[in-house]
Chains A and B, each alone.
Chain A
Amino acid sequence: MNSTAKTGTADDALFDQLGPRARARLRTVSIIATVVLLAVVTGMLIALGASGQLDPDRWAILVDGDYLGFLATGLGLTLVVGLVSTALSVILGVLLALGRISRSRWLRLPCAGLIEFFRAMPLLLILFFIMFAMPMLGLRLPTFWQLVLAIVAHASAIFAEIVRAGILSIGSGQSEAGKAIGLRHREVMGLIVLPQATRALTPALITQMVRTIKESSLGYVVGLSELLNNGKILSEFTGNFIQSFIGVGLFYIIVNIVLSRVAERLTSRVGKHA
Chain B
Amino acid sequence: MFGSYGEDLLAGFGETVLVTVTAFPIAFVIGIVLAVFRISPVRPLRIAGRLYVDVVRNSPLLLIVVLLIFGLPDAGLLLPLFWCFVLGLGGYFGAYVCETVCSGIRIVDRGQIEAARAIGLPFRRVLTDVLLPQALRAMVQPLGTILINTALGSALGAAVGISELTLETRSFNLDTAQPVLAFLTAACGYLAINLLVSLGVRLLERKARVLR
Footprint of B on A, CB under 8 Å?
1, 3-4, 7-9, 12-15, 26, 29-30, 33-34, 37, 47-48, 50-51, 53, 117, 120-125, 128-129, 132-134, 136-137, 210, 213-218, 220-221, 228, 231-232, 235, 241-242, 245-246, 248-249, 252-253, 256-257, 260
Q: Within the complex, what minimum Cβ distance (angstroms) separates B191 from chain A? A: 5
* Closest chain B residue, CB of each to CB of A258: B58
- Given A123-B152, A242-B75: A128 and B58 interface contact (C-beta under 8 Å): no
Cα–Cα distance between A26 and B58 once the two chains are bound (Å) = 31
**Selected contact of B59 from candidates A33, A134, A235, A253, CB within 8 Å:** A253
Evaluate contact between B71 and A242: CB separation under 8 angstroms: yes
- Counting CB contacts under 8 A, is B129 at the interface? no
- Given A8-B41, A14-B126, A122-B152: A245 and B166 interface contact (C-beta under 8 Å): no
* Closest chain A residue, CB of each to CB of B181: A133
Main secondary structure of the interface of A (DSSP, over half): helix
Task: List 29 contacting pairs A-B, 8 Å CB cutoff, sorted by A.
Answer: A7-B41, A14-B113, A26-B41, A33-B44, A37-B45, A47-B77, A122-B151, A122-B152, A122-B153, A122-B190, A124-B158, A128-B169, A128-B173, A133-B180, A210-B58, A217-B60, A217-B63, A220-B62, A220-B159, A228-B63, A228-B66, A241-B74, A242-B75, A245-B71, A249-B59, A249-B63, A249-B67, A252-B58, A257-B54
- Given A132-B170, A252-B58: A245 and B63 interface contact (C-beta under 8 Å): yes
Cα–Cα distance between A246 and B59 once the two chains are bound (Å) = 10
Q: Within the complex, what minimum Cβ distance (angstroms) separates A204 from chain B? A: 16
Cα–Cα distance between A4 and B117 once the two chains are bound (Å) = 12
* Closest chain A residue, CB of each to CB of B54: A257
Evaluate contact between B182 and A133: CB separation under 8 angstroms: yes
Please count how many residues in chain B sit with their CB below 8 Å of the partner chain's CB atoms. Answer: 56
Evaluate contact between B180 and A122: CB separation under 8 angstroms: no
Main secondary structure of the interface of B (DSSP, over half): helix
Cα–Cα distance between A15 and B54 once the two chains are bound (Å) = 27
Render B151-168 as a binary contact track against A, CB cut-off 8 A, 1 for contact: 111111011000001100
* Closest chain A residue, CB of each to CB of B153: A122
**Selected contact of A121 from candidates B62, B76, B152, CB within 8 Å:** B152
